[in-house]
A = this chain, B = another copy of it.
């Protein structure tokens, strides 16, 4: 920890800070400049509230030195993490992994039609929700376990993997019966009871960034899962809330290179929820791959006008085909392949 004293801080004030740091278990190094004194507290405390020092007299600024996450930091695994989803699909390596499907599982017919479409184009991972968190209590809430059964059966027919959202810790055992990847939604990014339990499972977790979460907070949520022993975490950028209302959220494309620098975990992008409109999904999916995303989570529906939820952001089949063609070229521009 670094403590910068105000100009003109008295020796007494400086000594009070030194004492406080020593009380807290830090070794203290002091640098006295022409104008200001700087104190360096060296030590390795896990959980330290810097405000306790900030409030002391004549303290100008306090900077924690140790990143608040460890297991999620790039330093922990400089070579990067490759998450194995099963059936030979990995995220975080050379492949850019497409994860496509409807917002909600609606019926076997729907899932079959979509699985046929996307698997024909080479997609190996299918998305779809059985439990839907909805802003309004009066909206469609998903098919529940029946939806999971349909999803698993259809996915197996096409040799695909299943990604679906878990809404709280009580649902984990049920989800584990049916899905290959457990998705944590943006609103649950800081549901710590859920994260803690996911640390104990052996299947991969797809952790979405909250709409107002900093990347540091996203990595701290990953740390919750990892500190329980489950290192198979895939991060997902899905748009942040800004002042701009022309799109539902603002896809923070720069999160991709930033996370790649700070962490060893793979990061994918969800352009469907970020923009909320299918005509913005193609450009933003292309942008994410161009920026280095390890995968794309995208909504596609065989008949979006009839979708029970989020139809307006689902791609039409022909749009999805066009997107796949474009992404093959863009992946090549950054020395990767699309799958």
Contact = CB atoms under 8 A, between A and B. Distances in A.
Nearest to A40: B31
B240 A258 contact: no
Contact of A75 (B6, B51, B258): B6
A247 interface: yes
A52 to B, nearest CB: 6
A191 B140 CA distance: 16
A11 to B, nearest CB: 17
Interface size class of A (residues with CB under 8 A): 35 or more
Contacts of A280: 254, 257-258
Interface string A257-278: 1100110000000000011111
Interface in A29-56: 29, 31-36, 38, 40, 42-44, 46-47, 49, 51-52, 54-55
Nearest to A252: B250
A256 to B, nearest CB: 7
A280 B43 CA distance: 30
A66 B190 CA distance: 32
A288 B290 CA distance: 9
Given A49-B310, A54-B312, A243 B214 contact: yes
A303 interface: no
Contact of A254 (B29, B51, B250, B261): B250
Given A35-B44, A168-B168, 8 more contacts: A2-B2, A31-B42, A49-B312, A138-B227, A170-B170, A215-B246, A240-B250, A251-B254
The 5 A-B residue pairs with the shortest CB-CB distance, nearest first, are A212-B212, A33-B42, A51-B312, A329-B333, A290-B290
Interface of A: 2, 4, 6-8, 27, 29, 31-36, 38, 40, 42-44, 46-47, 49, 51-52, 54-55, 60-61, 63, 65-69, 75, 133-140, 167-170, 187-188, 190-196, 210-212, 214-217, 220, 223-224, 227, 240-247, 250-258, 261-262, 274-280, 283-284, 286-292, 305, 309-313, 326, 329-330, 332-334
